[in-house]
């Protein structure tokens, strides 16, 4: 069952053993992708190597066939916000920002993470955008603890990013995750009027702010039906972790230690 986008499923200790393994495999696959990022490499080559790695470790891609998505992961270059489709003709160039987003299924459990990587030397604005997008994710993660409102995540991220004048994407957000790719709760990365539900131990969800150098508005590519672009053509960067609310705070399930 790939979707259960409204319900919040609290995980037991036994469930968490499965979640930790799936999240670890997602993180290891993303690490492999990061080591491949170099000028001249195609996004399809990254896709294929990661697909082989997931298989070797008895996992599989959650994105392949998800609502018809055609590939094992997403590769989003420069003005692409997310859901970019790997292609043989898309070869990385010096100065590119490329986000690789990987979701694996292992023994029925889902793990989801992404990072933006630099290809060669970045311009100063691109370097700052990437650094601040990563920091924005951590600011959100630092808000996670039992009893806190879900809305605090977006409030803190927005407060951190505001001085830079960046746009925080609103059309997509983080999500609960477990035996389904997308469960409740929805995780906005900007301030909203409702503070949302309170966090509880056993909740697992992603924080994955998409940060545009310009305006927050985006559109979906008409030709492929997937690629999400910034409306104003500005650069975009994103980082994502899958998290667990613990009795005392937060555990970052997709972190490699």
Write out the residues near ligand MF3 by the rule CB under 6 A. 63, 66, 69, 74, 83, 101, 103, 112, 206, 208, 226, 240
Q: How far is the CB of 72 from Co ion (least distance, A)?
A: 12
Q: Which is nearer to Co ion, 115 or 156 (CB)?
A: 115
Are 11 and 20 in contact by the 8 Å Cβ rule? The answer is: no
Query: Residue 43 or 122: which CB sits closer to ligand MF3?
Result: 43
**213, interface contact from Co ion, ligand MF3, none, CB < 5-8 Å by kind:** none
- Is the separation of the CB atoms in 229 and 219 below 8 Å? yes
Contact partner, 79, from ligand MF3, Co ion, none, Cβ < 5-8 Å per class:
none
Distance of closest approach, residue 119 Cβ to ligand MF3, in angstroms? 21
Look-up of token digits 């959100």: 140
* Smallest distance, ligand MF3 to C-beta of residue 206, A: 6
Of 112 and 183, the one with the shorter C-beta distance to Co ion is: 112
Residue with tokens 């407060």: 159
Residue closer to Co ion, measured from CB, 212 or 254:
254
Q: Pick one of Co ion, ligand MF3, none as the site partner of residue 63 (Cβ within 5 to 8 A by kind).
A: ligand MF3
Distance between CA 185 and CA 150 in Å, rounded? 8
Closer to Co ion by CB, 110 or 166: give it. Answer: 110
What is the nearest approach in angstroms of ligand MF3 to the Cβ of residue 70?
9
Cα angle at 156 between 153 and 160, to 5 degrees?
A: 140
How many whole angstroms separate alpha carbon 235 and alpha carbon 99?
11
**Shortest gap between Cβ of 66 and ligand MF3 (angstroms)?**
4
Residue 69 touches which member of ligand MF3, Co ion, none, C-beta under 5-8 Å by kind: ligand MF3
List residues near Co ion by CB under 5 A.
101, 112, 114, 206, 240
Taking CB within 5 to 8 Å according to partner kind, which of Co ion, ligand MF3, none is near residue 236?
Answer: none
Q: Could you tell me if 151 and 194 are in contact, meaning their C-beta atoms sit under 8 angstroms apart?
A: yes
Distances from the Cα of 211 to the Cα of 136, 147, 159, angstroms: 9, 27, 13
Q: Does residue 132 contact residue 211 with C-beta atoms inside 8 Å?
A: yes
Whole-number minimum distance, CB 153 to ligand MF3, in Å?
15
CA angle (112 as vertex; 75, 195 as ends), nearest 5: 110
- Which CB atom, from 113 or from 122, has the smaller least distance to ligand MF3? 113
CA distance 30 to 27: 5
Dist. CA 224–CA 233, nearest whole Å: 18
Tell me, rounded to whole angstroms, the distance of Cα 6 from its chain centroid: 19
66 binds, among ligand MF3, Co ion, none (CB under 5 to 8 A by kind): ligand MF3
């Amino acid at each position: 069952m790939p979707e259960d986008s409204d319900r919040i499923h609290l995980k037991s200790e036994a469930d968490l053993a499965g979640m930790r393994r799936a999240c670890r495999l997602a993180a290891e696959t993303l690490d492999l992708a990061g080591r491949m990022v170099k000028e001249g490499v195609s996004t399809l080559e990254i896709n294929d190597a990661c697909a082989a790695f997931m298989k070797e470790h008895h996992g599989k891609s959650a994105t392949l066939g998800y609502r018809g998505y055609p590939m094992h992961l997403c590769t989003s270059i420069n003005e692409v916000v997310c859901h970019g489709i790997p292609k043989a003709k898309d070869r990385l160039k010096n100065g590119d920002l490329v986000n690789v987003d990987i979701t694996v299924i292992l023994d029925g459990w889902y793990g989801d993470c992404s990072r933006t990587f630099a290809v060669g030397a970045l311009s100063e604005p691109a370097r700052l955008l990437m650094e601040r997008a990563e920091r924005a994710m951590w600011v959100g993660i630092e808000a996670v603890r039992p009893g806190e409102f879900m809305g605090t995540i977006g409030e803190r991220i927005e407060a951190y990013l505001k001085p830079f004048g960046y746009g925080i994407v609103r059309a997509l957000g983080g999500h609960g995750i477990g035996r389904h790719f997308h469960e409740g709760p929805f995780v906005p990365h900007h301030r909203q009027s409702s503070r949302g539900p309170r966090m509880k131990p056993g909740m697992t969800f992603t924080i994955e702010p998409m940060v545009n150098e310009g305006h927050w508005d985006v559109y979906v590519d008409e030709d492929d039906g997937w690629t999400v672009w910034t409306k104003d053509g500005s650069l975009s960067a994103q980082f994502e972790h899958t998290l667990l609310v613990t009795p005392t705070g937060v555990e970052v399930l997709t972190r490699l230690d």
